[in-house]
Amino acid sequence: MTGSCNDTSKANALHLDDFSVKQKAGQQSVPKYYGEALLAAAIANKSILALTADLTAPTETDLVRDQLPDQFIMAGIAEANMVGVGAGLARAGFIPFVHSFSVFLSRRSFDQIAMQVAYPKTNVKLVGFMPGIDSLLGVSHQAIDDIALMRALPNMTVLEPASPADYEDAVVAALAHDGPVYLRLYRATKQELRPDNDPPLKIGIARNLHEGTDAAIFATGLMVEQALLAAKNLKQQGINAAVIDCASIKPLDINGILKVIKHSKIILTAENHTVLGGLGSAIAEVMAGSNIARPFFRIGVQDCFAEGGSRDFLFKKYGLTADAITAKIKQAITS
Amino acid sequence: MKAGNRTNISQLQAMAKTIRMDVIRMVARHGQGYIQQGLGAADLFTQLYFQELRFDSDNPNWQDRDRFILSTAHNTAVFYSTLARAGLIDLEMLEDYCLDGSALEINASERLTPLVECTCGSLGQGLSVAAGLAMGAKLQKRNSNIYLMLGDGELEEGQVWEAAMFAATHKLSNLIMIIDLNYMQVEGDARDVAAIDPVDSKLENFGWQTMVIDGHDFDAIFAGFEAAKAETERPSCIIAQTIPGKGVPFLEGQKSHNMVLPSQVAVDALDWLGNRP
């Protein structure tokens, strides 16, 4: 914002470090899939405001800051206040997109989100980056419980797209929904393309990405790629596993999910999150609520804190891999 | 009510007395409640709703209305009475105060939207929402002012200071915070709980215009609001010194967050208010 609210010339003069994704030398620049989607939406709709808490580039809001400074608000390192300000702006008729790392947005501002966003259904979009254990910065920066927290709030929609290629659809879906949405995103490190035959991400719809009835893998976010790899491995071994992208964690596509479960022998969930309260719990609730019993396994962070490290290292150490999914399903089938 | 001519002070005093009597009746039915802070803030509420705030009682959703947020959302006896006396809710509704099923809950909630502009009660949140509304009004070039009432104990919440910095950074001069300074919180004297003083210089250093006034002096409250509205660069804070139980001599100064009000005390208090000038 210009003039009385924000001095963007000052902001631009600062060296703003995009520290959450390091580009390798010689690497082709990676699009900011979310930032570009938000920018396009904000160009079309002047009611959209982007708020960030000292994490502009890491939340890809630098695109809005630089091109639409009147629609950008730097809230400082004060997430609780930022959520309250966002709610006030929403009550004035704006559509605030409130950004930080998932862990700070959810844990530090939970009460503010409950009382100023979820309860009054203010049209605030909460956008958290650096999901789950995917962080070099360690436990302080790892959102292992944000899905559980956000899912527990009445009126909250929770979306975790599988791929940055889905972010544009996620922004469109969040905007089309008049009310609170929590978007759980990660930064792209490579060019992403959505397969032409995949249906677009929609609120309340689960997407079947791979067919199979020996097992069904319900996955979200970064674990969708691992689930698809596992399904490929399993297929080579004669096991047909369905893969369902549950980007819409809340509301869940209960009918779609039940249809798959009824035709599957083994159910497995995969999430970059604690196994308590997240997607695995949500799927278990659907099964139990419909009186369906199947062998059931949850891949995810096993009720522990992690540590800082690379994605590959941490996902392997904490069992968030295609190999772990493959092994679990094979073990279940042979036991 | 539209801002404009000064309301006669004797009329304001009479209204404040009526509101104090409502507060006593509303709390007396339950034998206990937020009576001391209600009596203490009655003059501030009277000045706000019978002089200061621009609203349209026929159209409470009027977009250009001034907004008032009660961050100490439990101080509802005085708030609801004021709303009723200002014609914004039916007077009969006061009879249901805090009864099961009533929208007049002990903590003001969204159920009374838009009169309750946001649900507070989880202390520390009101100023942030007020700052968002103030920023929104500025962006939309509306003349609305955003008023907010905080208790002094609430200053112990860190979020208040996050929001105070934000409001100063963004020059939200249309934001007017009233601190009901009675040094009373659940655990006793607020100064014994946390070093909240000096409130004025703290906020001044955070970039606010501040003024300390007698929260029972209508001239002083009026002057405070005028100074706040004249400020073009900074948010303003009116630190209103109030006396818990104000208006009833045998209740004045008694610090109790949720005071027991025996029926005879209520009768005596009503008698005193009703029979004294």
- 8 Å CB contact between B191 and B197: yes
Subunit contact A84:B129, Cβ cutoff 8 A: yes
* Location of structure tokens 């200061």: B52
Q: What angle do CA B147, B152, B153 make, to 5 degrees?
A: 125
Residues of chain B positioned with their CB less than 8 A from the CB of A11: none
Q: How far is B173 from chain A (nearest CA, A)?
A: 10
Subunit contact A80:B159, Cβ cutoff 8 A: yes
Rounded distance between C-alpha atoms, residue B29 and residue B261, angstroms? 9
Instruction: Say whether domain B9-275 belongs to CATH 3.40.50.970.
Output: yes
Subunit contact A91:B132, Cβ cutoff 8 A: yes
- 8 Å CB contact between B221 and B210: no
Rounded distance between C-alpha atoms, residue A21 and residue A59, angstroms? 11
Rounded distance between C-alpha atoms, residue B235 and residue A253, angstroms? 47
| pLDDT, tens only, A169-192 | 999 999 999 999 999 999 998 888
- 8 Å CB contact between B98 and B30: yes
B262 DSSP assignment: -
Residues of chain B positioned with their CB less than 8 A from the CB of A115: 119-122, 125
Neighbours of A92 (CB within 10 A): 23
- Regions of chain A where pLDDT drops below 50: 1-9, 11-16
Q: Residue A176: which of A32, A45, A82 has the closest Cα? A: A45
**B181: part of which helix (H) or strand (E)?**
strand B175-181
Cβ of residue B129 closer than 8 Å to a chain A Cβ: yes
Could you say which of A6, A81, A115 has the minimum Cβ distance to residue B163?
A: A81
Structure tokens at A49: 């405001």
Q: Is B211 helix (H, G, I), strand (E, B) or coil?
A: strand
Q: How far is B264 from chain A (nearest CA, A)?
A: 39
Residues of chain A positioned with their CB less than 8 A from the CB of B134: 88
Provide the β-strand partners of residue A181.
Answer: A125, A157
Dihedral sign from CA coordinates of B201, B203, B206, B211 = negative
Contacts A–B by Cβ distance under 8 A: 113
Domains annotated on chain A, with CATH: 8-185 (3.40.50.970), 207-334 (3.40.50.920)
Subunit contact A4:B163, Cβ cutoff 8 A: no
**B189: part of which helix (H) or strand (E)?**
strand B188-189
Candidates B62, B139, B148, B173, partner chain A, best to mutate (most A CBs within 10 A): B139
In this prediction, residue A2 carries a pLDDT of 38
Rounded distance between C-alpha atoms, residue B72 and residue B182, angstroms? 13
Rounded distance between C-alpha atoms, residue A327 and residue A266, angstroms? 13
Q: How far is B126 from chain A (nearest CA, A)?
A: 8
Structure tokens at A116: 């100023």
Could you say which of A6, A81, A116 has the minimum Cβ distance to residue B118?
A: A116
B49 DSSP assignment: I
pLDDT in tens, chain B (277 residues): 444 567 899 999 999 999 999 999 999 999 999 999 999 999 999 999 999 999 999 999 999 999 999 999 999 999 999 999 999 999 999 999 999 999 999 999 999 999 999 999 999 999 999 999 999 999 999 999 999 999 999 999 999 999 999 999 999 999 999 999 999 999 888 899 999 999 999 999 999 999 999 999 999 999 999 999 999 999 999 999 999 999 999 999 999 999 999 999 999 999 999 987 5
B114 cis-preceded (ω within 30 degrees of 0) = yes
Neighbours of B212 (CB within 10 A): 17
- 8 Å CB contact between B206 and B164: yes
Cβ of residue A46 closer than 8 Å to a chain B Cβ: no
In this prediction, residue A198 carries a pLDDT of 79
Cβ of residue B110 closer than 8 Å to a chain A Cβ: yes
Could you say which of B113, B132, B138 has the minimum Cβ distance to residue A84?
A: B132
Cβ of residue A116 closer than 8 Å to a chain B Cβ: yes
Residues 219-238 of A with CB under 8 A from B: none
Closest residue in chain A to residue B141, using alpha carbons only = A92
Subunit contact A88:B165, Cβ cutoff 8 A: no
Subunit contact B128:A92, Cβ cutoff 8 A: no
In this prediction, residue A30 carries a pLDDT of 85
Could you say which of A4, A73, A84 has the minimum Cβ distance to residue B128?
A: A84
Cβ of residue B131 closer than 8 Å to a chain A Cβ: yes
Subunit contact B124:A119, Cβ cutoff 8 A: no
In this prediction, residue A29 carries a pLDDT of 79
Rounded distance between C-alpha atoms, residue B160 and residue A267, angstroms? 47
Closest residue in chain B to residue A81, using alpha carbons only = B128
Rounded distance between C-alpha atoms, residue B219 and residue A74, angstroms? 39
B198 cis-preceded (ω within 30 degrees of 0) = yes
Q: Residue A234: which of A263, A265, A259, A212 has the closest Cα? A: A212
